[in-house]
Chain A
Amino acid sequence: MSSPSTLEKPRTSRPRPQSHATNFGKGFLVKLALMAAVNAFGIFIILAALQQDSMGILWVMVGLLVAANWVFFARRTLALKYVFPGLVFLLIFQLFTMGYTLYVSFTNYGQGHNSTKDQAITALLQQNEVRLPDSPAYPLAVVQQGGELGFAVLEDDTVEVGTAEDPLSVVDDAVVTDGAITEVPGWDILDRQAIIADQQAVVDLRVSIDEDPESGSIRTTDGRTGYVYTSTLEWDPEADTMTNTETGVVYTPNDEGQFEAEDGSKLNVGWRVTVGLENYTEAFTNPTLAGYFYQITAWTFVQAFLSVALTFLLGLLVAIAMNKPGMRGQKVYRSLLILPYAIPGFISALIFAGLFNTRFGAINQILLGGAEIPWLTDPFLAKFTILFVNLWLGYPYMFLITTGALQALPGDVMEAAKIDGAGPLRTWRSITLPLLLVSTAPLLISSFAFNFNNFTLIYMLTGGGPSFSPTTSLGHTDILISMVYKISGISGGEPTNYGLASALSIMIFVIVGVISAIAFRQTRKLEEVN
């Protein structure tokens, strides 16, 4: 880091070095080429977003591109030139995710509220358009006259043509070959390619079979055959209501994102709406959830704290033993100790889940002579097992970092302590440990954050079980993040509720953030002491 004094140095008479922005040398050409590539890439995304109607992505990209060009071509933005790429990635990969999670936590996104209102309306209309039970299959051709689409259908050897405006009427002199309509006077028959090019219009086309709209209309789903359909729901865009044409019941949108009739009955498909803080209050007030929520929160803290403390202590102990000068085979021991650290955590957790199986696991069968100890299904033992496996998985990491820290301790301080007459214990307590903590504390904090959200271990080892009760999927070893996973309903077996799950993740984020902030402050104090 540069000290302030360097900045205040009087300028020498040496000419200022030219910035890359105005120096048209080799470096500038390279930069120009790179920026051209970046701009081309950006413009491509903008065009693609325009095509997909994704206005959000479009404007973000425009903003980023303008910023990028300004940063790399302006003269005064030297520091930004280094920071900008990192900022862009932070924006895309972190802030966006967090922002989106925050947004979802204020909505009722989940079972039955999965899409937008427009999509829900489309789905409702689709679901309630039913083929008449006795409607025969009509061989059908898509025809066109002056840009207007219509259907030509074959009914008992006569060909009838109709459009969205005009119901079916008989056309004379039409040619039918092998049961397919090949020629209709006054109309062009669309071939398959033309149908495909306009398929949305063809799918949306409804041709009434007679003057009475109640008797249904022809539509086709494959461009070859038509059936008569009637719709029981009618959407009125002006009044924003759905009407059931059979019963006459009118449904209006309610605050929860569903169409609701006056008698309280609701239509099947709903859509996403913002529900404010409802998801946040639900975690504390929902009678079936709140009790478990507090228990799980408490266990999450205990689990994270004990995991860090135990692994650190064991790692440190081993590190001290290994650090003894003149010990033989140090390298072999050290490489052996790294082994558990080198195996992916979720594989180890899975293997341990097998080892701890009550009846078939090696621990009960071989080590304990066939004792049926419920390692993973007793609330207390399951917690113990989690901590034990995490200790096994985590201590080599602590061993590594404490070994490094021990070896970096300044020898002269130790020497001084010895001369001052301090014994090994005193030296350890007053010199070694504080110095060690200064360099390892940030890692301990990040370990805490990691264990706070150690989903893999819980998921692979106990799956959160044993359950609090047979009627909930939440269990005694669930931590907040695995609770979020279960509540989200992704795993199936329970209705999805992304809104509530997002609200819980935001709470986890806040908890971890606050704890880390406090812990880092404490660490700084530690540094000041030294």
Chain B
Amino acid sequence: MRKTIITAAVASAALLLTACGSDSSSEATTDATDSSSEETSAAEEETTESAGGGGSITVWVDETRQAAVADAATTFTDETGTEVELVLKNFEDIRTDFLAQVPTGEGPDITVGAHDWLGELTANGVVAPVELGATASDFETTAVEAFTYDGQVYALPYAIENLGLIRNTDLAPDAPATWDEMIAAGEAAGTEYPFVIQMNGEDGDPYTFYPLQASFGSGIFAKNDDGSYSTDLIIGDEAGQNFAQFLYDNGQSGTGVFDQNITYDVAVDAFATGKSPFIVGGPWMLDSFGDLNVAVDPVPSAGGESAVPFAGVQGFYLSAQSQNALLANDFLVNYLSSEDAQLALYEAGDRPPALIAAADVAAEDPITAGFIAAGEGADPMPSIPEMGSVWTPWGKTEAAIINGADPVSSWETMATEIQSAIGG
């Protein structure tokens, strides 16, 4: 419903704004911050300087990536005379807005996005394949695979992000190899918590818990021979049940290490104030840790196998309804894939670049190198449309087990319900 209201409001606003010229409505959005409007006007000026008729493309970006994309856009405008209009959006709104606006013809030519939207975006026909050509081999294989669906690549990847174990080196000088070692080291540190991992209340947080689950050898969907995910659900298998038992043993009825009241804010605050030597987290947390001496290691194994997190890949999608497909492709494949552009995006968001050459430069930073090491062997988060029916029951079941629900039967019920939701 909220969507309809927004669509209607946008439509009526467009009705009023059309008067100011078709470009102004998107510019009004760009004006949301001062810097972005400067960016746009700078791009405009250059267009007028170079020979006119270079056309224009619209790109949706979020605040973090805005300046970096603007740099690439300036180069693009200088060389081709094509104006790039950056529209600032909240990252959380992009997926739904893109789905709603592309069919109406109001969407952008290019948008920033995460790879796990891919299933939904292709099922709704709003993204077009991107031909990476020879540059494909310049990117990390995981990054390109993550944006591949049914043999086609749908975005230009620019960053890979994954969880790692962030450690306060003053409290715990050595990296733990196993779960038990870590808990022991945490207890030896004498802090309030031996270890923190975030949960979103009763919704759980299956993404953050996944490395632990993976260390029991449990996954969600089986894989095809070519490495892509099939729709065969394997989460309910014995490995999954062992993980459920582990959750229960460390939940409210056990050691109490897992607690649904430890939300993102609580966990980050506990680590930042020295109440815990370890936290499972991603590069996005680092800003909150200020002057702490931290190191990043792989998540220790709890179930014997290696605790690989999901790899999340960020990239730029091309709209299926783009009227400027040629320009948009050119900008994506020939400009945003450059080492400079990828490094600028790395500096803006701290996520390791997807371009190998840029990643090598970024790895000179030990923290970034730590995250890259923690993501070694990681699988991309499943992006098939069926995944939409998995997250909610998965997280809620984990939370319920941590709160004391029977592990094995809850886990089995969850698997059955997901199976019936995805139609099998």
* Complex Cα spacing A203 to B330, Å: 12
Return the contact of B388 from the options A220, A224, A358, A494 (Cβ within 8 A): A494
Question: Taking CB as reference atom, which chain B residue is nearest A354?
Answer: B265
- Which residues from chain B contact A104 at a C-beta distance below 8 Å? 4
Task: Tell me the residues in window 458-494 of chain A with beta carbons closer than 8 Å to chain B beta carbons.
Answer: 463, 465-467, 470-473, 481, 484-485, 488-490, 492-494
- A227 part of interface (Cβ distance < 8 Å): yes
Cβ of B377 within 8 Å of any chain A Cβ, yes or no, is: no
Do B321 and A119 touch (CB < 8 A)?
yes
Which chain B residue lies CB-closest to A103? B4
Taking the complex as formed, is B349 at the interface, i.e. its CB lies under 8 A from any CB of chain A?
no
Stretch in A319-327, A439-447, A495-503 touching the partner: A495-503
Cβ–Cβ < 8 Å partners of A48 in chain B: 18-19, 22
Task: Output the least CB separation between B146 and chain A (Å).
Answer: 17
Within the complex, what minimum Cβ distance (angstroms) separates A431 from chain B? 44
Q: How many residues of A contact B (CB 8 A)?
A: 81
Nearest residue (CB) in A for B421 is A471
Inter-subunit contact B96/A203 (CB<8 Å): no
Q: Which residues of B contact A490 (CB under 8 A)?
A: 2-3, 96
Q: Say yes or no: is A389 at the interface (Cβ < 8 Å to chain B).
A: no
Cβ contacts under 8 Å, B410 to chain A: 470
- Is there a chain A Cβ closer than 8 Å to B417's Cβ? yes
List B residues 375-424 near A (Cβ within 8 Å).
385, 388-389, 391-393, 396-397, 399-400, 405, 410, 413-414, 417-418
Q: Which of B7-15, B30-38, B297-305 lies at the binding interface?
A: B7-15
Question: For the complex, is A24 an interface residue (Cβ under 8 Å from B)?
Answer: no
Binds B, one of A75-83, A191-199, A341-349: A191-199
Minimum CB distance partner of A122 in chain B: B320
Number of interface residues of B (CB under 8 A): 76
Does chain A have a CB within 8 A of B329?
Answer: yes
In the complex, chain A residues whose CB is within 8 Å of the CB of B393: 470-472
Measured CA separation A497–B344 after assembly (Å): 38
Contacts A115-B102, A490-B96; A92 near B388 (Cβ below 8 A): no
In the bound complex, what is the Cα–Cα distance between A440 and B133 (angstroms)? 70
Q: Indicate if A127 sits at the interface (CB-CB under 8 A).
A: yes
Q: Which A residues between 426 and 464 are near B, CB-CB below 8 angstroms?
A: 463
Residues of chain A from 213 to 271 with CB closer than 8 A to chain B in the complex: 220-225, 227, 268-269
* A112 is an interface residue with CB less than 8 A from chain B: yes
B152 within 8 A of A: yes
Nearest CB of chain B from residue A507's CB, rounded to whole Å: 11
Contact A92 B12 (CB under 8 A): yes
| Cβ-based interface call for A41 (8 A) | yes
Known: A97-B8, A203-B326. Is A485-B1 also a contact (CB below 8 A)?
yes
Residue interface mask B49-75, A partner, CB < 8 A = 1:
001011100000000000000000000
Interface hub of A222, A360, A466, A470 (most chain B Cβ within 10 A): A470
| Closest B residue to A93 using CB positions | B12
A44 and B18 form a contact (CB under 8 A): yes
In the complex, the answer to whether B327 meets A196 with C-beta atoms within 8 Å is yes
A246 to B279, CA, bound (A): 52
A492 surroundings in chain B (CB, below 8 A): 95-96, 391
CA A115 to CA B82, docked complex, whole Å: 29
B18 CB contacts on chain A under 8 angstroms: 44-45, 48-49
CA distance A225 to B329 in the complex (A): 11
B202 & A357 in contact (Cβ 8 Å cutoff):
no
A111 to B125, alpha carbons, bound, how many Å?
10
Q: Annotate B94-115 by CB proximity to A: 1 below 8 A, 0 otherwise.
A: 0110010011010000000000
Find out whether the CB atom of A465 lies under 8 angstroms from the CB atom of B80. Answer: no
Assembled-state Cα–Cα distance A485/B5 (Å): 12
- Cβ of B1 and Cβ of A101 under 8 Å apart? yes
With both beta carbons as reference points, the residue of chain B lying nearest to A129 in the complex is identified as B129
Contact B51 A193 (CB under 8 A): yes
Chain B 103-138 against A: per-residue CB contact (8 Å), 1 yes, 0 no? 101000000000000001011111011110110000
Determine if B41 is an interface residue (Cβ-Cβ < 8 Å): no
Nearest chain A CB to B122's CB is how many angstroms away? Answer: 6
Check A227 against B2 for contact (C-beta < 8 Å): no
Residues of A near B151 (CB, < 8 A) are 130
Cα of A111 to Cα of B422 in the assembled complex, Å: 13
What A residues does B330 contact at CB under 8 A? 222-224
| In the complex, chain B residues 227-273 whose Cβ is within 8 Å of any chain A Cβ | 259-261, 266
Q: Are A114 and B400 in contact (CB under 8 A)?
A: no
A126 close to B (CB within 8 Å): yes
A100 to B4 Cα, complex, angstroms: 7
- Does residue A116 face the partner (Cβ distance < 8 Å to B)? yes
Q: How close is B59's CB to chain A, nearest CB, in angstroms?
A: 16
Instruction: Tell me the smallest distance from the CB of B271 to a CB of chain A, in Å.
Output: 15
- Cβ of A317 within 8 Å of any chain B Cβ, yes or no, is no
> What separation, in Å, do the CA atoms of A465 and B124 have in the docked complex?
30
List which A354-405 residues lie within 8 A (CB) of chain B: 357-360, 376-377
Q: In the docked arrangement, what's the CA distance between A103 and B22, Å?
A: 27
- Cα distance A126–B184 in the bound complex, in angstroms: 55
Q: A92-B12, A203-B325, A494-B388 are in contact. Are A197 and B1 (CB under 8 A)?
A: no
- From B55, B126, B130, B392, A123 is in contact (CB under 8 Å) with B126
- Is A20 positioned at the interface, with any CB of B under 8 Å from its CB? no
A316 sits at the interface (CB 8 A): no
Instruction: Write the chain A residue with the least CB distance to B124.
Output: A114
Q: Of the candidates B11, B120, B396, which one forms a contact with A471 in the assembled complex, judged by CB atoms under 8 Å apart?
A: B396
- A78 CA / B81 CA spacing, docked (Å): 56
Asked whether A269 lies within 8 Å of B134 as measured between CB atoms, the reply is: no
Who on chain B is nearest to A126 by CB?
Answer: B128
- Asked whether, in the complex, the Cβ of A466 is within 8 Å of the Cβ of B202, the reply is yes
Asked whether A290 is an interface residue with its Cβ less than 8 Å from the other chain, the reply is no
Q: Give B344-367 as 1s and 0s: 1 = Cβ < 8 Å from A's Cβ atoms.
A: 000000000000000000000000
How far is B150's CA from A123's CA once the two chains are assembled, in angstroms?
14
Assess the A358–B133 pair: CB atoms within 8 A: no
Say yes or no for B191: interface residue by CB 8 A criterion: no
Question: With contacts A122-B321, A222-B326 known, what are 10 further pairs, Cβ within 8 A?
Answer: A92-B15, A119-B103, A192-B81, A196-B53, A196-B55, A269-B124, A495-B389, A501-B1, A502-B4, A504-B1
A-B contact pairs, 26 of them (CB 8 A): A45-B18, A92-B15, A100-B4, A100-B8, A114-B125, A115-B124, A131-B131, A193-B81, A199-B327, A200-B323, A221-B130, A222-B131, A227-B133, A377-B202, A377-B260, A465-B202, A470-B397, A470-B399, A470-B405, A471-B393, A485-B2, A488-B3, A495-B388, A496-B96, A498-B3, A498-B4
Chain A interface residues toward B at CB < 8 A = 41, 44-45, 48-49, 51-52, 57, 61, 92-93, 96-97, 100-101, 104, 111-116, 119-120, 122-124, 126-127, 129-131, 137, 192-193, 195-197, 199-200, 202-203, 220-225, 227, 268-269, 357-360, 376-377, 463, 465-467, 470-473, 481, 484-485, 488-490, 492-496, 498, 501-502, 504-505
